[in-house]
Chains A and B, each alone.
Chain A
């Protein structure tokens, strides 16, 4: 197994910097470890190159793109049995108010913004949220009803600081999309939890404790990788 990462990791496995990997033609199971997998960023190109080489790679380019587009994330998650809420993808405030009662959660459907979502509790805040997150109506937004409380947390290989339903969602999202490091947005409501969105982590949000989880998971995956590469 080959680990491609810019992060300082303590592992005995072969490791490469993304810039070196992009020029290489190394074959084998590839773990692309980055905090930012946004489309057009280095994390994305590493997975593209690995796939073109014919390598099995985590995460796949398809997962990278789909997980960052909230409507697709929710569609694929609900198909995989992860609890989600009804959503609407649109650029029209009128359509949102017709379909949902306030308050609502508005997510950007563009992978540029780090700042995830906005909560709108009246018409004027909804106008502001839609205008801002749609980048002046260039992109659509994804709207979900707000029935409980929003919870945002780091998910490292599906592991998080929460237990119960929330931890289950974190694990299932990793099983479905295989994004090693990300931030998840979940809504909790009367002991139930619903997946709302996913966004990249900033490098400064990754601590030493997270890197310990990463090292353990790399070891576990290397065993799986040996099996996959044969």
Chain B
């Protein structure tokens, strides 16, 4: 029997689909004879009482979730997401630098430093990547801090905004597709495969409604992982190989029959009725990995 702590924040229960998925984790863990407790920020000092920590709150090296992950790691507990994965996946510059080194097929990307905000560099980028380009802040998640720019003026505006927090940004080719593949990987094995559709007329899975603060999300279609293309699964596993053995959600675009990685995310979304729809065993596989 293992004692598993699931680190969550209040917002993890605001969407009923996510709340149901968390409840599924608890049910499956209990059925296997494990203790599964939700741990909030106030109970961090109780980490040593557990054997494993499963982080569901949003991760970033700046957030409390990283401190939880690192503390558990230092105490020798099993952790999803481990601190190294948070460090790499939480910073897209680190991620793409590793992809370049290990030749992982990914969207053509260049880095823009804070001291390169000049006309010549912008022209070079447009020449290399074409127009428009996608400007990505390293700390992007849930489709936020990613913007499309087609001229130098808007490029400067977006870059200036993102440079407030980070000294380096990623700039990528614009590759519009009807959907992005999302491959869930755990310990170098494919866990689930989904299609994240783009909302009508949009280029991102999640985007802001014009003039409104609300977000609109595209639909999610789940596939049985055995039926997903082999090439897709191989590219996803190759991308995860350069990061670690944890739980990842790999975003992949299919362009002219080729699979190119958009990014690898730690702490991938798991919503009841979406990611688990055709792969119900994902809860059990994650719990078994934590309890092992």
Other-chain contact of B41, A40, A76, A140 (Cβ < 8 Å): A140
Known: A48-B91, A66-B70, A140-B41. A39 touches B97 (CB 8 A): no
Known: A39-B61, A40-B166. A62 touches B97 (CB 8 A): no
Contact A75–B61 (Cβ < 8 Å)? no
Contact B62–A71 (Cβ < 8 Å)? no
Interface range on chain A (Cβ under 8 Å from partner): 20 to 34
B272 interfacial contact with A, CB 8 Å: no
Of A88-96, A114-122, A156-164, the one contacting chain B is A88-96
Contact B70–A69 (Cβ < 8 Å)? yes
Determine the chain A residues whose CB is within 8 A of the CB of B168 once the complex forms.
Answer: 22, 42, 45
Contact A72–B71 (Cβ < 8 Å)? yes
CA A19 to CA B165, docked complex, whole Å = 17
B15 interfacial contact with A, CB 8 Å: no
Cβ < 8 Å to A, chain B residues 101-143: 101, 111, 113-116, 138-139
Determine the chain B residues whose CB is within 8 A of the CB of A182 once the complex forms.
Answer: none
Residues of B in contact, count (CB < 8 Å) = 33
Determine the chain A residues whose CB is within 8 A of the CB of B84 once the complex forms.
Answer: 62
Determine the chain A residues whose CB is within 8 A of the CB of B98 once the complex forms.
Answer: 52
Cβ < 8 Å to B, chain A residues 53-79: 53, 61-62, 65-66, 69, 71-72, 75-76, 79
Contact A61–B167 (Cβ < 8 Å)? no
A222 interfacial contact with B, CB 8 Å: no
Determine the chain A residues whose CB is within 8 A of the CB of B94 once the complex forms.
Answer: 48, 52, 61
Contact A42–B67 (Cβ < 8 Å)? no
Contact B167–A90 (Cβ < 8 Å)? no
Determine the chain B residues whose CB is within 8 A of the CB of A69 once the complex forms.
Answer: 66-67, 70
Contact A140–B64 (Cβ < 8 Å)? yes
Cβ < 8 Å to A, chain B residues 1-59: 41-42, 44-45
Please give the distance in Å from B135's CB to the nearest CB on chain A: 16
A111 interfacial contact with B, CB 8 Å: yes
Determine the chain A residues whose CB is within 8 A of the CB of B157 once the complex forms.
Answer: none
Determine the chain A residues whose CB is within 8 A of the CB of B62 once the complex forms.
Answer: 39, 110-111, 139
Please give the distance in Å from A62's CB to the nearest CB on chain B: 7
A109 interfacial contact with B, CB 8 Å: yes
Which single residue of chain A is at the shortest CB-CB distance from B86? A65
B74 interfacial contact with A, CB 8 Å: yes
Other-chain contact of A65, B45, B87, B165 (Cβ < 8 Å): B87
The 8 A-B pairs of least Cβ separation, nearest first, read: A40-B166, A52-B97, A42-B167, A140-B64, A72-B70, A48-B94, A65-B61, A45-B168
Chain B residues within CB distance 8 Å of chain A: 41-42, 44-45, 61-64, 66-67, 70-71, 74, 83-84, 87, 91, 93-94, 97-98, 101, 111, 113-116, 138-139, 165-168
Chain A residues within CB distance 8 Å of chain B: 19, 22, 39-42, 45, 48-49, 52-53, 61-62, 65-66, 69, 71-72, 75-76, 79, 88-92, 95, 109-111, 139-140
Can you name 24 A-B pairs with beta carbons within 8 Å? A19-B115, A40-B138, A40-B139, A41-B166, A42-B113, A42-B114, A49-B97, A52-B94, A52-B98, A52-B101, A53-B101, A61-B87, A69-B66, A69-B70, A76-B74, A88-B45, A89-B44, A89-B64, A90-B42, A92-B42, A95-B42, A110-B62, A139-B62, A139-B64
